[in-house]
Chains A and B, each alone.
Chain A
């Protein structure tokens, strides 16, 4: 296993596996394990992200990527180990942590029979977002759905639903974005839009942890990549000066 413990943020801050030096927003995972019955899905994951950092999680199906994200957003409880988000424990302080994370999953987590705007109003109220009308309109505009605001989600295309999911995840201005294959169903314009939204989020000091099966996309969007295989981190490296060929070769070797 190649373990590059010293990752640097895109602000140039260097830290050594522990809490970032100066950033307020950080995500820290220590010895995280998860088993479903007797089957181990995550085996002692250690990971740290600090403000402004984007990390891509790569791995074959069943490697544990989605389980890791679900644990970090509080939908699944870890079997062992710990994870902190901005100093709050994800299990003990679950309710406060939920205010800090935005999650885009495989499923859109939207209500088909409600309109795009109604969905955002609903989730805005759940997160007690102030000025929800302005915020919802702004986000719909940002994701290019201003003309579909009053259409039911059931009649939107897969790409439009994915855009709306992104808007939903950003609604409460989370510090940390956890995205499970955010490009799903998006055309080139949609992918550009994702890129712009992610850049804007990290520019404000937020962190992003996302999964993808597209190695080129991982290189393009992240500051560092992590490869998982059978629940273990088997490769971890900054993307600066990292060639696609090398990533492809390594991916084939380690997964």
Chain B
């Protein structure tokens, strides 16, 4: 019970902090929209190739925007010296990780909610909200699970902005592939496709377990 209360308290603090500083959401949202607009101008979109291009553009926008936010969550803690203060509290480190993960998912989720209708309009594709929701949710969980752990690792270094994408991109490749293919299948149904959603869920479980177990050693000296 105390564990859950502490998770909620840290999450509440991060959300309130972000609502007042407005640093992360604005930056992530604008970035995602810019990527979508640039892709829209760059590719020669036609009715017959939209289904092939649109999923890739969508997930590139989501992944890059996510990394902007992931870099900020723990780096902002370190900049104001409060990661130490959080570590000084008698709190289970797993509670800190879980709160940061939920916070990251929430921040990325809001950006995705805003970006999805714009994506549908720009690329002239249907949204399939019901079917897209589990893909977006599970993929966001995987990206945030890895990103939260590695942002804690990168935040302790000087080159954190450079280091975070280098560390995170290779690891989330299976999730990005799964998300792109699963989204593509929605737009242009194909036969004999592997169970992409199941693959993403399996990676989520692995990433989440490993991250929960190692976070303590990453944030403490």
Q: Which residues of A contact B (CB under 8 A)?
A: 73-77, 95-96, 98-99, 103, 105, 107-114, 118, 122-123, 125-128, 152
Contacts and interface: CB of A to CB of B under 8 A. Distances in A.
B90 A126 contact: yes
Nearest to B9: A125
B88 interface: yes
A128 B88 CA distance: 14
Contacts of A127: 89-90
B88 A109 contact: yes
A70 to B, nearest CB: 8
Interface string B65-95: 0000000000000001110111111111000
Contacts of B81: 105, 107-109
B21 interface: yes
Contacts of A111: 13, 17, 80, 82
Interface in B12-27: 13, 16-17, 20-21
Nearest to B86: A126
Contacts of A125: 5-6, 9
A173 to B, nearest CB: 13
B62 to A, nearest CB: 26
Interface residues of B, number: 24
B77 to A, nearest CB: 9
A109 B91 contact: no
B221 interface: yes
A147 B86 CA distance: 26
B84 A75 contact: yes
A114 B13 contact: yes
A96 B13 CA distance: 24
Contact of B85 (A74, A109, A114, A152): A109
B2 interface: yes
A76 B177 CA distance: 41
Nearest to A100: B90
B80 A112 contact: yes
A239 B106 CA distance: 56
B82 to A, nearest CB: 6
A126 B6 contact: yes
B17 A113 contact: yes
A113 B17 CA distance: 6
A98 B91 CA distance: 9
Contact of A98 (B16, B82, B90, B220): B90
B88 A103 contact: yes
A82 B87 CA distance: 20
Nearest to A118: B16
A113 B18 CA distance: 8
B21 A113 contact: yes
Contacts of B85: 109-110, 123
A184 B16 CA distance: 29
